[in-house]
Amino acid sequence: MTDVASSCRWGILGAASIARKNVRAMHLADNATPFAIASRSRSKAEAFRAEHGLDRAHDGYEALLEDPEVDAVYIPLPTTLHREWTIRAAEAGKHVLCEKPVAANASDVEVMIETCRDAGVQFMDGLMFMHHERMRRVESTLDRLGPEPDLVTSRFSFRGDAAFFENNIRGDVDTEPLGCVGDLGWYCIRIALEVMGAMPDSVRARHHRMHGAIPIHSSAELDFPGRDGVRHAFIQCSFVHPLAQWVEICGPEGSMRMDDFVIGSPTEAVIQLETESQLTEQDLVHERRLERISIEDCVQEVEMIRRFSDLARGARPLEPIWGQRSHETQRIVDAIMSSASVDGARVRLVP
Ligand SMILES: NC(=O)c1ccc[n+]([C@@H]2O[C@H](COP(=O)([O-])OP(=O)(O)OC[C@H]3O[C@@H](n4cnc5c(N)ncnc54)[C@H](OP(=O)(O)O)[C@@H]3O)[C@@H](O)[C@H]2O)c1
């Protein structure tokens, strides 16, 4: 009989802003315990521990990895530190939930995933929306759009002010070299991958605005193979436009739209389904059938923590698919960066 722990004890590397949301989720998930925090600053770790009700505060990330009572680590560090700390965590026998973008490039992701696999620990990226019950409804509703969806259009953006570009890790090429593509495009790429069920054959992309060497407004076109020819995803991501987080998924017979696909409402997340759309009465009236599919009371970050905690405590077998999806997403990020560096030339992805 395998040994299943009743709760996964979590350690957090870095007192990051986003860690607050996930620590709250750890408090809410019945199979998780928010146990320890580590910071580069002892006083910062202690303040975070006290404010968020954790048991231990560690002086430095290494000390947390040496804590034998920590089962899994959450890594919300700047992107350029993900590779090092994922590898060190896996080698210390800790399961790894790593923030996105997972790394600076796909070859780093390969090493991270291989190290986790060799150490027998779970790897997953911190994409909360994938764990919202709404995504299961998206999957089961796709056939209403026709034989296969062939167009995914999405935008994820928010507007940073001068202080953002001056002080946030996202304004510094040494911490976040992939800019809005890694920070926001990651979500748009992932939903396209999920819906299309395949990797794109090729990518074309442009950076429309830069902050030094960091892209802060980018767009990309992804070409996917399809039964009846090429299928497309169009992606926009930006740190200079108003907050938007929408996706439209289209097929020959209909479309579905989510206005908050990244941070889905915990009380009522909605899919707007439109079918039988046509002009009638001599092109005067646009008739359509609109359905509102509603999913109530699902907190996506709690679902993510619950799922991961079950994997880490041995209640379900490890799931390599999460690492695979991160790697695929990162390969597309790499292709977007390559294409944009040559002003939108087509970059082919080798299968
Ligand atoms: N999944 C999501 O919904 C979501 C949402 C927001 C952000 N994120 C991702 O989470 C990560 C963190 O984002 P955030 O906005 O929470 O960042 P943040 O508040 O700046 O936190 C980053 C943490 O990293 C540590 N750190 C180590 N070296 C650092 C350095 N050289 N410069 C700055 N910080 C350093 C710091 O912790 P100590 O000083 O305590 O060591 C800092 O608190 C990013 O990868 C981001 O893309 C994900």
Is residue 44 in contact with ligand 1, taking CB distance under 6 Å? yes
Residue with CA closest to ligand 1 atom 36: 14
pLDDT > 70 in the chain, percent:
99
Q: At residue 3, does pLDDT exceed 90?
A: no
Say if ligand 1 is within 6 A of residue 15 CB: yes
Alpha-carbon distance of 344 to 206, in angstroms, equals 5
Instruction: Verify whether ligand 1 is closer than 6 Å to residue 116 (CB atom).
Output: no
pLDDT digits (tens, 9 = 90+) for 178-235: 999 999 999 999 999 999 999 999 999 999 999 999 999 999 999 999 998 999 999 9
Ligand 1 atom having least distance to the Cα of 168: 20
Pocket test residue of 12, 13, 18, 51 for ligand 1, highest count of atoms within 8 A of CB: 18
Question: What domains are there in the chain, each with its CATH number?
Answer: 8-127+303-317 (3.40.50.720), 130-299+330-348 (3.30.360.10)
Mean predicted confidence (pLDDT) in 241-269: 97
Q: Is 128 in the pocket of ligand 1 (CB under 6 A)?
A: yes
Q: Find the 76 Cα to ligand 1 centroid distance in Å.
A: 5
pLDDT digits (tens, 9 = 90+) for 47-101: 999 999 999 999 999 999 999 999 999 999 999 999 999 999 999 999 999 999 9
Does the beta carbon of 40 lie inside 6 Å of ligand 1? yes
pTM: 0.97
Confidence of residue 283 (pLDDT cuts 50, 70, 90): confident
Q: Is the pLDDT of residue 1 over 60?
A: no
Instruction: Look at strands 56-59 and 32-39 and give their pairing.
Output: parallel
What the block records as the tokens of 299 is 């907190």
